Structure 1
Amino acid sequence: MLLHIVARGRIARSPEADLFDRYMKRVTWNWRHTELPDRGGTIPPVQTPVRQVALDERGKQMSSEDFAAMLGRWRDEGVRECRFLIGAADGHGDSGRAEADVLIAFGAMTWPHLLARAMLAEQLWRATAILSGHPYHRSG
């Protein structure tokens, strides 16, 4: 299953970009990172079947184990692409949230979208590590 991060805004050269790169280099699943301008831009065509996950402060908070289980279930069901949608500074509009299969929040606080991208990269690495039995994730 392709893990596809579709993010509004440019991460460029920044501490967040370094964190993003550090974790995504460890992900062994196929992945893609698409950056779009804050408004507009062409979203690449999807590989169907697809699941869309929008990172949104109104979303569900889930444990790393639950996140990994969701990805593993989708992979096992034959989902070809899982898209992670990260909005610009103002987040997603109502229509963007409605189109998502799942809304996920990294806690109740609002996070800067560049930092959310780095946090997503770490959680993708952690989820794939959990699913492969890698010792990176230590559950309590």
Structure 2
Amino acid sequence: MRLALVCVGKLKAGPERLLFDRYLKRLKEGARSAGLAGVDVREIGESRARRPDERRAEEGAAILAAAPKGGALVLLDERGAPATSEEWAADIGRARDGSRPVYAVAIGGPDGLDSSLGAAAHRIVSFGAMTWPHQLVRVMAGEQLYRAMTILAGHPYHRR
């Protein structure tokens, strides 16, 4: 199974990019030890539609098109259910062990995710009730995916 991070918007140069790249490198280097075939990052351009609901709809369609078919689609949304690192790692492990081809994590644009994505989602996860900037959500997702991979591999990074 592959991990995929599907993001609306581009991560520009800066400290967030450096931190995200650090976790992505670690994740790619350790993926095989957790039984993962690899990691992909797919960036989708932000919609230029005038209205927020139109932007969300266009970006939602682009997320669905970018998320590989037959996989588990996980949406990161402030209205989702909170999950511990261990719970998220276990969910990834179940998808891996269930022969899913991909576990795709989607991060929406500035206007959030289109409600139509909920029907296609395996689950909706929240990093808390607060709204986070896209750049920080991408860093947090990268770190949590890396942490999940280390939990699955029995690596000591996650100490509890």
* TM surpasses 0.5: yes
1:38 CA displacement: 1.0
Q: Quote how far apart the aligned CAs of 1:119 are.
A: 0.2
Give the aligned partner of residue 93 of structure 2: 72
Aligned with residue 66 of structure 2, among 44, 48, 61: 44
Tell me the residue number matched to 2:4.
Answer: 4
Shift of 1:45: 6.1
Partner of 2:152: helix, strand, or coil? helix
- C-alpha displacement of 1:98: 2.8
TM-score of the two chains, using structure 2 as the length reference: 0.81
Moved over 3 A (4+): 40-45
Q: Percent identical across equivalent pairs?
A: 43
The answer for the alignment partner of 2:104 in structure 1 is: 83
Map 1:98-113 onto structure 2 (within 5 A).
98-113=119-134
Counterpart code for 1:19: L
> Matched residue of 2:104: which SS?
strand
For the pair shown, which has the larger CA radius of gyration, 1 or 2? Answer: 2
Give the alignment of 1:109-120 within 5 angstroms.
Answer: 109-120=130-141
SS of alignment partner, residue 26 of structure 1: helix
1:25 aligns with 2:25: yes
2:26 alignment partner, SS class: coil
Matched AA of 2:22 = R
**5+ residue gaps, structure 1:** none
CA contact (8 A) 2:75 2:124 kept: yes
More helix by share: 2
The offset of 1:44, in angstroms, is 3.3
Q: Give the Å deviation of 1:97.
A: 2.7
1:49 is displaced (CA, Å) by 2.6
Q: How many residue pairs get matched?
A: 138
Which position in structure 1 is the counterpart of 2:52?
none
Separation in 2 of the partners of 1:45 and 1:75?
Answer: 16
| Corresponding position of 1:13 | 13
Q: 2: CA distance between counterparts of 1:106 and 1:53?
A: 13
Structure 1 counterpart of 2:95, which letter?
Answer: W
